[in-house]
Every structure is written in C-alpha cells, then in structure tokens.
Amino acid sequence: MKGRVEGMDEKNTDYSAKKRTLLEQELISPQALQLITELEAELNLLCKQNESLRKALRSKSAQSPRMSTKLRDALYE
C-alpha cells in the first residue's frame, strides 16, 4: 500500500512541474492558475488524510486477531 502513496507524491510533483512550465510559457490565465492552486491544495490535503486513514487502519488491524479463536483452534487440530 505504501507504493500508492509514493505514486501520488510523484504525480503531485509532476503536476507542479507542468504548472511551472505553463507559467514560464505564459500559457495559463490567472483564473486557471487560481483553480490549479486550489486543486493542488486539495490534493495535498487528501493525500495527508489518506495517509492518516491508512495508519489508523493498519493500527486497528494489528490490534484485532485475523481469525476467530474457534477457527484457529480447528485449524490447529
């Protein structure tokens, strides 16, 4: 699962590079720049929330047993 998060970081970096290119070539309007900036902020927030949820899920799944005790006992017999 960690690969997915790293993939999002790479995509975010790619998007930032593309935005810089568009700015340097003056191919982007101020309105579009504002929208892109807002979308980047939202993407960053969602990536942080996603990572937080992943950590909580990993923590929760580590605390609970993976199979019921009856099932585990039956498998060990």
How confident is the model over 59-70, as pLDDT tens digits? 887 777 676 778
Per-residue DSSP letter, 10: H
Q: The domain containing residue 26 runs over which residues?
A: 2-76
What's the whole-model pTM score?
0.64
Distances 42 to 47, 67, 71 between C-alpha atoms, Å: 9, 38, 44
Residues 6+ apart with CB under 8 A from 23: 33
Give residue 1's pLDDT: 44
Which pair of structure tokens corresponds to residue 33? 């720049």
- How much is the pLDDT for 71? 78
- Give the CA count within 13 Å in the CB-facing half-sphere of 8: 15
What is the number of structural domains in the chain? 1
pLDDT tens-place string over residues 18-61: 989 998 998 989 999 999 999 999 999 999 999 999 999 888 87
